[in-house]
Amino acid sequence: MINQLVKKIKETKAPIVVGLDPMISFIPKHILEEAKEVSEDPLEQIAHGIYEYNKGIVDRVWDLIPAVKPQIAMYEQFGVPGLVAFKKTVDYCKKKGLVVIGDIKRGDIGSTSAAYAVGHLGKIEWNGKKIAPFDEDFATVNPYLGSDGINPFIDICKEEKKGIFVLVKTSNPSSGEFQDQLIDGKPLYELVGEKVAEWGDGAMGDDYSYVGAVVGATYPEMGKVLRKIMPKTYILVPGYGAQGGKGKDLVHFFNEDGLGAIVNSSRGIIAAYQQDAYKQFGEKNYAEASRAAVEDMILDINQALEGRN
């Protein structure tokens, strides 16, 4: 799947991911009103609204982008109907030819990690049939439990040609509390980066590894260091837009050939119609506003990359 992701990034010339992190306050009124007709159950109404809202955005941006990143928490909060909306979103995006990164941030003791890996990236066997439960192409993984927690994901990635992005340096303000702690003079995120490169060596695609890394756009200097430590690792870079990251901060996350990183924006794209810059589109045309925001993001990042040469 890493090969497909790289191919799609080259085709679209868009090293970006649209984060599908729906919140009720983002969903236009006309969609929520319509959702009330489909069920008596409030959770099912919300889940229906989420799916229709996502579909509207995906229909207007799929041709511009290589990948989407649905954040499972935004669906899980609405219980089983929410998870059904997550799965329907994954399937719809894949039907549109998009690479799907499930932002699930899992990781546990080996046996439990194996179950997470099967559920999200692998297949179960039942009555002689193989069934892929959630079937994302990539999943985000938390490395805090060490190799035991990561290896089951890597095994499934090799079997299914899928991939993971391991949290290395996260974008949030307090990420340094643990991740920047020095161990024998080295920050923990560097040690994790070294381990990601090592895990990745055993799981190579054509040019990049199935084992990627998450490094926040809000820490560009650390991104520069980590790029060098993990030359064959694709870096998923959240923190653009709503968290303050800008194209000019991100050039060092990329390799010289302009590959090696893919930048996520969620709220900045899917709720663009609520922002001053795109308010003129209006609520009904929310998806058009998202398309304009995607075009602006691609331009911002590509101009920054061209400017460094």
Ligand X SMILES: O=c1ccn([C@@H]2O[C@H](COP(=O)(O)O)[C@@H](O)[C@H]2O)c(=O)[nH]1
Footprint on this chain of ligand X (rule: CB under 6 A): 19, 21, 71, 103, 170-172, 214, 216, 238-239, 241-243, 264-268
CB of 308 to ligand X, least distance (A): 23
Residue 240 DSSP one-character state? B
Residues 88 and 134 sit within 8 Å (Cβ to Cβ): no
Q: Cα(164)–Cα(105) distance, rounded to whole angstroms? A: 10
With tokens 């499972």, the residue in question is 72
Residues 54 and 95 sit within 8 Å (Cβ to Cβ): no
Question: Alpha carbon of 83 to those of 58, 126, 286: distances in Å?
Answer: 18, 22, 24
Q: Which is nearer to ligand X, 172 or 280 (CB)?
A: 172
Burial of 40 (0-12, 13-18, 19+ CB in 10 A): exposed
Instruction: Give the length of the chain.
Output: 309
CB of 294 to ligand X, least distance (A): 13
For residue 154, give the nearest of 214, 146, 88 by alpha carbon. Answer: 146
Q: Cα(176)–Cα(259) distance, rounded to whole angstroms? A: 27
Q: Which is nearer to ligand X, 45 or 239 (CB)?
A: 239
Q: Which is nearer to ligand X, 19 or 114 (CB)?
A: 19
CB of 124 to ligand X, least distance (A): 27
Q: Which is nearer to ligand X, 21 or 160 (CB)?
A: 21
Q: Cα(116)–Cα(106) distance, rounded to whole angstroms? A: 7
- The set of residues, in sequence order, having a beta carbon less than 8 Å from that of 198 and lying 6+ positions away, is none
CB of 71 to ligand X, least distance (A): 4
94 is catalytic: no
Q: Which is nearer to ligand X, 19 or 122 (CB)?
A: 19
CB of 165 to ligand X, least distance (A): 9
CB of 237 to ligand X, least distance (A): 9
Q: Which is nearer to ligand X, 68 or 154 (CB)?
A: 68
Catalytic residue among 105, 123, 161, 232: 105
**Which region, left, alpha or beta, applies to residue 273 given φ > 0 means left and ψ of -120 to 50 means alpha?**
alpha
Q: Give the three-class secondary structure for 155.
A: helix
Q: Could you give the residue numbers annotated as active site?
A: 105
